[in-house]
Amino acid sequence: MIARLRLPRARPRARRSVRAYCEADRWSFDPRYTQGRCPICGWEPENAPNAPDWLALANRVDWDIVGLFLLADVLVLLGLIVANAAGLFPAGHSSFGLPSSPGGVASGPRLH
């Protein structure tokens, strides 16, 4: 019952074990964790991945640009917080916290 509730493996290809064997050193190693090379002599097997899947994905992302946009977002957010606290928004705009400007809407519309 429990085994039936388990999710099927999304990508069984990613779970394969990658082993390489260096004939010169008689050493078996996983090239994903040795940057695709033999850790002893530096021999590079063909068609061997040089990083685990998650690291290969992370290496494709340009983290400088991601950090730059994240910094810009934080600065805009800080600017909005400071402008809201200083009451620089127009009077019709409702403030995030307590009403700070006397020109704001104080009561509902008069019907009579």
Residues that bind Zn ion (CB under 5 A): 22, 25, 38, 40-41, 43
Task: Find the shortest distance in angstroms from Cβ 37 to Zn ion.
Answer: 8
Question: Among 36, 16, 39, which residue's Cα sits nearest to residue 27?
Answer: 39
CB of 45 to Zn ion, least distance (A): 10
Shortest Å, Cβ 18 to Zn ion = 16
Report the residue number, 17 or 28, with the smaller CB distance to Zn ion: 28
Report the alpha-carbon distance of residue 111 to residue 8 in Å, rounded. 62
User: Please, which residue, 1 or 24, has the CB nearer to Zn ion?
Assistant: 24
DSSP string of 1-62, one letter each residue? -HHHHSPPPS-GGGG----EEETTTTEEE-GGGTTTS-TTT----TT--SS-HHHHHHHHS-
Minimum CB–partner distance for residue 31 and Zn ion (Å): 11
Pick between residue 40 and residue 83 the one whose CB is nearest to Zn ion.
40
Cβ proximity to Zn ion, 32 vs 38, nearer residue? 38
Q: What are phi and psi of 18, to 5 degrees?
A: -105, 110
